[in-house]
C-alpha cells in the first residue's frame, strides 16, 4: 500500500497542467542531483548510481515533452543532450562536480520556467 506522501504526489501529477509538470520535473532533477552528490560524498556508490539514473530519466522526460515544431526547442534538445552526456560521465566517474554542473542547469531552467509561468498568468487570453 502506498504511503500518504506517495498518494499526494500521484494526485499532484495527475491534476497538474503541462507547465506545472515541467516545473515538477525541474524540481525532481534538482532533488535527485543533490541526492547523487550526497551519496557520492558518502561513498554510497549504488545509491549514487540510482539517483543519477533518476536524473537521466527526468532529462529524458523533459526532452520527450518538447514541442519540436517550436524553433527554441532545438536549443533545449542540445542542452538536454549535453546534460544527459554529463550525467553518464558523472555516473561512470562518480564525479560530484559534474552532477553539480547539471544541477546548476536544472536550477537555471526551473527559475526561468517559474518566471515564465508567473508572467503568463498576467497575460490576457490570446496574447
Q: Which residue has the cell 532545438?
A: 74
CATH code, domain carrying 48: 1.20.120.340
Domain count, the chain: 1
Q: Does any domain span residue 79?
A: yes
Q: Does any domain span residue 105?
A: yes
Q: For residue 43, give the DSSP letter.
A: T
What pLDDT, in 10s, does the model give residues 53-96? 999 999 999 999 999 999 989 999 999 999 999 999 999 999 99
pLDDT of amino acid 29 = 98
Q: Is the pLDDT of residue 125 over 70?
A: no
Q: Does any domain span residue 36?
A: yes
Q: What is the pTM of this model?
A: 0.85
pLDDT of amino acid 5 = 59
Q: Are 56 and 106 in contact (CB under 8 A)?
A: no
- For 69, phi then psi, to 5°, come to -80, -10
Q: Which of the pair, 98 or 19, is modelled with greater confidence?
A: 98
- Where in the sequence is the domain holding 105, given as residue range(s)? 18-111
Q: Are 100 and 107 in contact (CB under 8 A)?
A: no
Q: What is the mean pLDDT of residues 106-121?
A: 92
Cα dist from 81 to 3, 87, 115, whole Å: 34, 10, 24
Amino acid at each position: 500500500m502506498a504511503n500518504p506522501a506517495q498518494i499526494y504526489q500521484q494526485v499532484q501529477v495527475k491534476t497538474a497542467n503541462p507547465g506545472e509538470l515541467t516545473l515538477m520535473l525541474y524540481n525532481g532533477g534538482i532533488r535527485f542531483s543533490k541526492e547523487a552528490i550526497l551519496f557520492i560524498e558518502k561513498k554510497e556508490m549504488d545509491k549514487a548510481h540510482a539517483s543519477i539514473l533518476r536524473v537521466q530519466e527526468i532529462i529524458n522526460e523533459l526532452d520527450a515533452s518538447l514541442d519540436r515544431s517550436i524553433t527554441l526547442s532545438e536549443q533545449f534538445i542540445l542542452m538536454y543532450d549535453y546534460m544527459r552526456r554529463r550525467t553518464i560521465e558523472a555516473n561512470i566517474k562518480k564525479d560530484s562536480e559534474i552532477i553539480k554542473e547539471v544541477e546548476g542547469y536544472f536550477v537555471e531552467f526551473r527559475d526561468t520556467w517559474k518566471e515564465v509561468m508567473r508572467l503568463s498568468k498576467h497575460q490576457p487570453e490570446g496574447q
